Structure 1
């Protein structure tokens, strides 16, 4: 069962699914910016188990030319599927708006690393401290 607040489960999740569908259907032309939300990108991965193409929209923060995403899975106890896809196949593509280009994913997971701590602050601030709330729930 989800540990997300009721408002997120019954209002937020359906809106995010709609946003994701529109962003994907328009190939990034509509959906990069969503009212009251940080910008989002489309992440194109290859399935870790299936080898099939997968696409998902994610909010991101920018830092020195890098796109920072967080595998929070909406504050759930498990990582999202795209995280495992990135681990298995780090050569991916992203759409930032309608522009699609290749990138190589780097996973940062050592919370004791000063760079990790700095980047955590960047993404958390960009997402209105959403990830701090997720940490409290998990």
Structure 2
């Protein structure tokens, strides 16, 4: 089914994505990820970074899978042709991750091309929509290891 939708599948407007992200972030903070996991049907973490331009604290809910020493996430932005802001923010500023009400400082590592397919399969297993996101865009969606400090 996902392949049938392909790149022509409609992207949600950016204003709606922002609204959902903000609402979801508040639900996660309030309910310690229980509602967030139910809504998206997977493991949800809250990534906290400082915006490069705005200097404001940004909190973004992301689907993840656990890896040795941390978490694996995709900078998919719903299959858009650009990476999300948080991807650039973590490269310039410190980052924190909250999972199950536990907050940890993290560093990042971009997954190397020779490891990417293995990690994509892990993410698609927990959240099949990632396959759709990959089909929507011509860019190589970065996979990020968020490693606990």
Write out aligned runs for 1:111-122 (5 A). 111=113, 113=114, 115-122=115-122
Q: Provide the TM-score with structure 2 as the length reference.
A: 0.71
Q: What is the match of residue 105 of structure 1?
A: 108
In structure 1, C-alpha distance between the alignment counterparts of 2:88 and 2:70, rounded to whole Å: 20
Contact 2:77–2:83 (CA<8 Å) still a contact in 1? yes
CA positional deviation for 1:35: 4.7
Is structure 2 residue 140 aligned with structure 1 residue 137? no
CA-atom RMSD in angstroms: 2.7
Structure ranking higher in strand proportion: 2
Hey, what's the Cα distance between the residues in 2 that align with 1:123 and 1:22?
23
**Bigger relative CO (Cα 8 Å, ≥ 6 apart):** 2
Q: How many aligned positions are there? A: 128
Equivalent pair of 2:97/2:105 in contact (CA under 8 Å)? yes
Residue 22 of structure 1, CA deviation: 1.4
TM-score (norm 1): 0.76
Work out which of the residue numbers 62, 69, 83 in structure 2 matches 1:79. 83
- Structure 1 residues without counterparts, runs of 5 or longer: none
| Residues in 2 aligned to 1:35 and 1:50: alpha-carbon distance in whole angstroms | 29
Contact (CA 8 Å) 1:32, 1:97: kept in 2 or not? no
Alignment of 1:1-138 (within 5 A): 5=9, 9=12, 18-24=23-29, 26=30, 28=32, 30-35=34-39, 37-89=41-93, 91-108=94-111, 110-111=112-113, 113=114, 115-128=115-128, 130-138=129-137
Q: Deviations over 1:74-130 (max 9, x none)?
A: 1111111101101212x311110211111111122x43x1x22221211121212x2
